[in-house]
Each structure stands twice: as structure tokens, then as C-alpha cells.
Structure 1
Amino acid sequence: MHLFSPIFLASIYAAASTAAASPLLGQRDSPSNETSTTYNTPVSQYNFNDAGYTYCQANYPSSKSYSPLPNASLEMVQVVVRHGDRTSYTVLPNENETWTCDGVEEDTYLHETDKPPRNTTGSFKQVIEIPKWNSKYGFSNKVWAGSCDIGELTDIGKSQHRKLGGQLRDIYVRKTHFLPPTLTDTSSVYFRTTHIWRTKNSGESLLGSLYPGRNTDSNDAIPMHTYPESIETMYENTAACPKLNSYVSQIYGSATFQQFLKDQGPLMSRISGILGVSGSVWTASWSGYVDALLPRKCHAKPLPCRSVNGTKTDDCITEDDVKQAMRNGSFEWTYKFRDHPLSGEYMRLAIGSFLATLRDQIHDHVSGAAKAPKFSLYSAHDSTVATILGALKASNADMLWPPYASNMLFELWKKNDGNHVVRIIYNGHILQLQDGFKWCDLSSCPLDKFNKYLEALIPTDVAAQCAI
């Protein structure tokens, strides 16, 4: 989750002041046929089936059930992932938990631009160190005890992407022979990540299992591409696109969303009282509650209890509280990213430039205009995955908050008749679309139809259209 930038919070404040798992390639039932979990809102279409859902771990694609497209050959794979398990961004008042990230260290070394490149510094490990006196001398509630920074990838998160990389190797190397067993040409793999550690480390873990055994010679290094934070396109970047603030304000200030906040107000008040938090960010959105509670639940840490004068009481957050907070988060993001009247325009400016990147890569390959990589990995955030799902009009079941290590595979196939089709696999199954918006069968979507749909989501002049 890319949480709590000052500009994003300003938008939420403005809105508040205005009013306030299936087997791989299996077809999911449409939401209307699912056993529904009813949300306490007046909006009938928000009946999500969250049976079997867990925020803590996405499903992996499986080589056992993976089926190549009949009468076609695979030509390109683009993978968009959410980072793995991480620590929370929220350090609570009276925090007494310990988080350990000792196994997640970044090995680095520098080299000059000589040919051949040579290591000029030796290797270094960058390690987060939390001082033992964290709870004293005025630094209490700034960060917890242990060795983890806020929002840092944990050992579990690293392991999740190592397993995902192994699954992808089983599919694309061992089963389909689409990728070679040994990476001899690093230009055949493209790796892009946001500038944040957890996405870098997640991508490194995944590629380390997709292509294990590589050495540290700089000639064998897979380039890790990043955009400067100020112009990042893999998440809703309000700093680069100020117009997004206006849309957020209108979406969160809408009558439907404000009614939702009112309906869920008693639970919000209960949880915020126990957490000991206050302020507009805790009354205008459920995102902070997802961040505060779910990382703790995923690590089986005790759920927070109310503290009175520094003494813990028996008034604690329950499993049901966490489950409903998670449902409310899914409701919020689905309404924002897919169903508000402004969602389409919001998606165009929030994720359209990144969708253009995916489209252009495919175009370069098909047209032969430039050499395109066979395999591309984009390591990003839950908001990245959620905005893409919203833009594609994913079904209610697939709009549930993207779990850790969520994975979206865009496969380009060439049929025997010469036509290209796109297949999208999300967390181990064909991505399903919302009732009434089934614009294509994503088990085999004709490329021209796919491109036509994307065109409406891609801004023609993002700088001009993002200006206020």
C-alpha cells in the first residue's frame, strides 16, 4: 500500500469536509451467482464473496493446472506483482511489539564504467538497525522494537516471492520451454520496480528463483529499472498528477461514500478508540485500519487492546472487527477505482500511463519496431494491482484488496492463423470481469480488441490533463 502521502491526505481531508481461490484458468462464477457476504451499506451491488480470501497470501499460478492456449504459441509475458509481506506503516501509541527483518538485507557493490566492468568497492550489506532505547528519550511511538523499518519487506515477504518465482520457472521454463533454463542474455528480461525497498527486494527474490545460481559479476546483472519518485507511473501519483486530488475529493465526498462511512461509523469509532488514534485520516478512510491491523494479523501478533493511563485493558479488537475492516477496505477501493462516475477518468490519469507502457511493449514486439523482452517483471504495490483491476472492470470477487504477492500475468499468444490474443491470469485464475462490463473474454482476448479498450484508458497528454 502506498499510504499517507501529504497530498493524498489533503484530498481525503477535503472530501471529509465536503460531506465526509479457483484453480488456474478456472472460470469463476459471476458475483450474482456467488454466496454473498453482505456489507452494511445501502449499495446493493457490493456483495463480495470473500470465502477463502486472505490478505496475507495471494494464490500462485500452478504448473500442474496451467494449460497453454490451444493452437497458439506464447510470445511474451508481462508480470505485475504486489510486494510480499511487510511491516505496517502505523506505529500505535503504547506500541510494544517487536518486528524482525534481519534476513532482508540489500547486498550492493559499485563498479566503474570500464569495459569489462569491475567491482571497485567490495560488497556491502545495508541493514536497518533500531536502537534498543527506542522506547525512551523521546522516541517512543516513532517505530517499534526490533530491526524493521516501517513498510519493510519481511522474511516472509521475501519467501513469498521466491516461491512465486519458482512457480513461474516451473511454468515458463520447465513446462512450456518459453524461457531458457539459464539466463545468458539479460536483455531478454526486463525488470522495473518502484523506488521503495520492499518492491525492489520482492522483485530480486522472484527473479532469484526464476533464474537461480547467477553470480555477482556485473556482466550477469539483471538491470533494475526505476523511475524517479516525482514521475512514477506505477501507482496513483498525486505529486505528478495534481488533478487526481480533485477526483479523490469528489469520490470520497460523494453521498454514497459518505453514507458508507456513516453506516460503518460505530465500528470505526470502536477500533480507533482501542488503537488510540484520531484525526481526519482515521475518520475519512478505512485504508489506515487495513494497514494497522492486517500486518499484525498476518504475523499472528496479538490484536491491539485499549490502554487506559498506560495500562492494557481487556477491551480488545476482535477477529470479526478485523474481518469487517478488511471488507470495508475492499468496498472503499472498489468504489474509488471502479464504480464511482469519476472512476474511469481517475483511472486514466492514475494508471493509464503505465498501461501505455504494457501496450507499447506488446506493440514493439508485434510490429518488430524494436526488440522487446520476452519476460517483463513490474514489482509494485497493492494500489498498482487494484487500479489495474478497476480499470479493466474486474469482478467483485477479483476486486477484493490485492493480497501480499498478488500476481497478474499478461500473456501474448500468436494463434496458428497469425492473429494475436492476450490472456490475463490473476492470482492463479483467468481474470473475471464485472457483470454488465464483460468487454472481452480474457482467456483469449483478440489483441485489436484489447488495444482498443486500453486506448480509452490512456491519456493523450498526461501533463496537460493532470494540471489543475
Structure 2
Amino acid sequence: MTTLEPRQPYTDAELRQLYPPQLKLQLVQILLRHGERTPVTPRFQNTGLPPYWPYCRAVRHLRSAVLDPDTGEYSYLDWKRRLETFGSDDDSPIIATGPNAELDDICDMGMLTDRGRETTRNLGRRFRDLYVERLNFLPADLTNAESLYLRSTPVPRALESLQQALSGLYPATHRAPDLPALTLLTRAPQDETLFPNDGNCRRFAALSRAFAQRTAERWNNTPRWTISTRSSASGCPTTPASP
């Protein structure tokens, strides 16, 4: 994914226009998309793009909860992950490597990259600058774990992006020492509403088909659609020239 460079922070004049002083705050709601990721499938290898990308240092810093059945206590197992694939010659298993023979830091398909972690952490910092430092919509320190409703889709890169942004909004120095573990909510796929879920909602699927059909009937035979189709096929600009 490409990186979107954010605009400069709002000026004081812009903030006064966006948030008039006579309004009363009811809720702070933040919606964000995941950060930069790797392709969900290997693509464009014929152009020289490597199938495996060494841009995910997080795979060196993994931790799993491990239960001791004798004591009923949990401990932690620290580990790192390498990716295995099939060799091109005889299909024997080999370690996947990056373009310069890197063994570690290899990303899974569709995985949040180091760059994605950086930008979502910086996004959280922008949230803090806006909602804490300038607008005073949120407290400076997080002392109540129940004061936030945190939800993500079940896609790992989305959950990790939420964690990165949250750590920018409330870094460790601004979380109370006795703050309990924060609750991050996810839903089963059939209950997910943070993305179009036509695979699990028949009503939504029917509405999507109806919307697509209505759009096709309205635009398919119009001059603008014809120009766009021809331009896309020829690689020319899709905007009609001004007279």
C-alpha cells in the first residue's frame, strides 16, 4: 500500500470554525483504517516485485500465553516466526526469503508492515495533539480502562493498527500505573458491521445487488461512461477535455 501524507495540523482559525464554542461535546468517536500492508497475494512478480517482503520486524517479538495444567497459572513464551514455503525445483520445504536473502522479518500476506505501524502510531499522536492538547475533548492521562470502547474487525492488521494508534494517543507515560488491561472487542464474522458484510447478511447482499443494478442502468449508456471506458482501455486521462 502507498503512504498517505497527512495534511498539516489544523490552524487555530480552522479549529474555531470546525468546533464552534457554543457546541457541547457529547462523544468522541474515532474511526480508522489499517496502516500500510503487504499484498494479500503475491503480485507483479513479472515486474521484479519480490513475493516475500522483509518489512515486518514484529515477527521477531511475538509472545504467547502458555498454561501450566499443574498449577493453573499462565506464563509467557517469547518466540519469533519464520515463513516456510515450497522450493521451485522439487517442492521440498524451504525458508521463505526476502529480495536480499533475508530470513527474518518476512511478512505474511496482507500483514501490517513496519511502515504501517509507524504511520498508525503517528496517527495516534495526531489524535492526542488534537483531542487532548488542543481541544481538551479527552483527558491527558488514561486512568479508567472502561472509559474507552475499543473495537476492531477480526483481521489481524486492523487489530494491530488499533493497538498502534491507541499507543500513540495514550503512550505508557500517560497511562496510570495501576490501569488494568484494556479490553479490545472483536466480533464473529457473521456479526461484523465495520465492513460491508454481504457474505453473512442476505438483506445487505440484496441491497448491494440492487444498488449495482440501479447504477448500471443509470450510467452504463451515458456519454461520460463511454468516454471513461475508452480512456481506461487506452491509458488516457478519464476526464473529458474542456471545450
Q: Bin the TM-score by the shorter chain.
A: 0.5 to 0.7
Given residue 89 of structure 1, which amino acid in structure 2 is its aligned partner? Answer: V
Match for 1:121 among 66, 69, 75?
75
Match for 1:238 among 160, 180, 198?
198
Give yes or no for the alignment of 1:92 onto 2:92. Answer: no
Which residue in the other structure is 2:123 paired with?
Answer: 164
Given residue 100 of structure 1, which amino acid in structure 2 is its aligned partner? Answer: P
Residues 170-185 of structure 1: matches in 2 within 5 Å? 170-185=129-144
Residues 328-367 of structure 1: matches in 2 within 5 Å? none
Q: Is the 8 A contact 1:195 1:226 kept in 2?
A: yes
Aligned residues: 211
Q: Following the alignment from structure 2 to structure 1, what is the Cα–Cα distance between the partners of residues 36 and 138?
A: 28
Name stretches of at least 5 consecutive residues in structure 2 with no aligned partner. Answer: none
Q: Following the alignment from structure 1 to structure 2, what is the Cα–Cα distance between the partners of residues 247 and 81?
A: 25
Which residue in the other structure is 2:146 paired with?
Answer: 187
TM-score, structure 1 length as denominator?
Answer: 0.38
Q: Is the 8 A contact 2:190 2:201 kept in 1?
A: no
**C-alpha displacement of 1:265:** 6.2
**C-alpha displacement of 1:89:** 2.3
Residues 307-322 of structure 1: matches in 2 within 5 Å? none
**C-alpha displacement of 1:180:** 2.3
SS of the aligned residue for 2:28 comes to: strand
Q: Is the 8 A contact 1:87 1:150 kept in 2?
A: yes
Q: Is the 8 A contact 2:66 2:76 kept in 1?
A: no
User: C-alpha root-mean-square deviation of aligned residues, in Å?
Assistant: 3.9
**C-alpha displacement of 1:230:** 1.7
Q: Following the alignment from structure 1 to structure 2, what is the Cα–Cα distance between the partners of residues 123 and 62?
A: 42
TM-score, structure 2 length as denominator?
Answer: 0.68
Q: Is the 8 A contact 2:144 2:179 kept in 1?
A: no
- Rate the CA distance shift 1:93–1:173 in 2: closer, same or farther, 3 A: closer
SS of the aligned residue for 1:245 comes to: helix
Given residue 121 of structure 1, which amino acid in structure 2 is its aligned partner? Answer: S
**C-alpha displacement of 1:257:** 5.4
Match for 1:202 among 157, 161, 168?
161
Match for 1:255 among 208, 217, 221?
217
Give yes or no for the alignment of 1:101 onto 2:55. Answer: yes
Match for 1:81 among 26, 32, 38?
32
Residues 131-170 of structure 1: matches in 2 within 5 Å? 131=84, 135=88, 137=90, 145=98, 147-170=106-129
Which residue in the other structure is 2:6 paired with?
Answer: 59
- Rate the CA distance shift 1:257–1:247 in 2: closer, same or farther, 3 A: farther
Q: Following the alignment from structure 2 to structure 1, what is the Cα–Cα distance between the partners of residues 202 and 218?
A: 24
- Rate the CA distance shift 1:137–1:192 in 2: closer, same or farther, 3 A: farther
Q: Following the alignment from structure 1 to structure 2, what is the Cα–Cα distance between the partners of residues 177 and 111?
A: 41
**C-alpha displacement of 1:76:** 1.9
Larger Rg, first or second structure (1 or 2)? 2
SS of the aligned residue for 1:166 comes to: helix
- Rate the CA distance shift 1:133–1:224 in 2: closer, same or farther, 3 A: same
Given residue 201 of structure 1, which amino acid in structure 2 is its aligned partner? Answer: E
Residues 4-19 of structure 1: matches in 2 within 5 Å? none
Offset from partner CA, 1:411-431 (integer Å, 9 cap, x none): xxxxxxxxxxxxxxxxxxxxx
Offset from partner CA, 1:361-419 (integer Å, 9 cap, x none): xxxxxxxxxxxxxxxxxxxxxxxxxxxxxxxxxxxxxxxxxxxxxxxxxxxxxxxxxxx
Residues 401-440 of structure 1: matches in 2 within 5 Å? none
Q: Following the alignment from structure 2 to structure 1, what is the Cα–Cα distance between the partners of residues 32 and 53?
A: 24
Structure with bigger strand share is: 1
SS of the aligned residue for 1:78 comes to: coil
Which residue in the other structure is 1:368 paired with?
Answer: none
Given residue 264 of structure 1, which amino acid in structure 2 is its aligned partner? Answer: T
Q: Is the 8 A contact 1:56 1:85 kept in 2?
A: yes
Given residue 187 of structure 2, which amino acid in structure 1 is its aligned partner? Answer: Y
Q: Following the alignment from structure 2 to structure 1, what is the Cα–Cα distance between the partners of residues 198 and 136?
A: 41
- Rate the CA distance shift 1:69–1:257 in 2: closer, same or farther, 3 A: same
Offset from partner CA, 1:288-316 (integer Å, 9 cap, x none): xxxxxxxxxxxxxxxxxxxxxxxxxxxxx
Given residue 233 of structure 1, which amino acid in structure 2 is its aligned partner? Answer: T
Offset from partner CA, 1:411-454 (integer Å, 9 cap, x none): xxxxxxxxxxxxxxxxxxxxxxxxxxxxxxxxxxxxxxxxxxxx
Q: Following the alignment from structure 1 to structure 2, what is the Cα–Cα distance between the partners of residues 94 and 156?
A: 21
Name stretches of at least 5 consecutive residues in structure 1 with no aligned partner. Answer: 1-53, 113-117, 271-319, 328-468
Q: Following the alignment from structure 1 to structure 2, what is the Cα–Cα distance between the partners of residues 171 and 219?
A: 23
Give percent identity, aligned residues only: 22
- Rate the CA distance shift 1:241–1:92 in 2: closer, same or farther, 3 A: same
Q: Following the alignment from structure 1 to structure 2, what is the Cα–Cα distance between the partners of residues 144 and 157?
A: 21
- Rate the CA distance shift 1:73–1:247 in 2: closer, same or farther, 3 A: closer
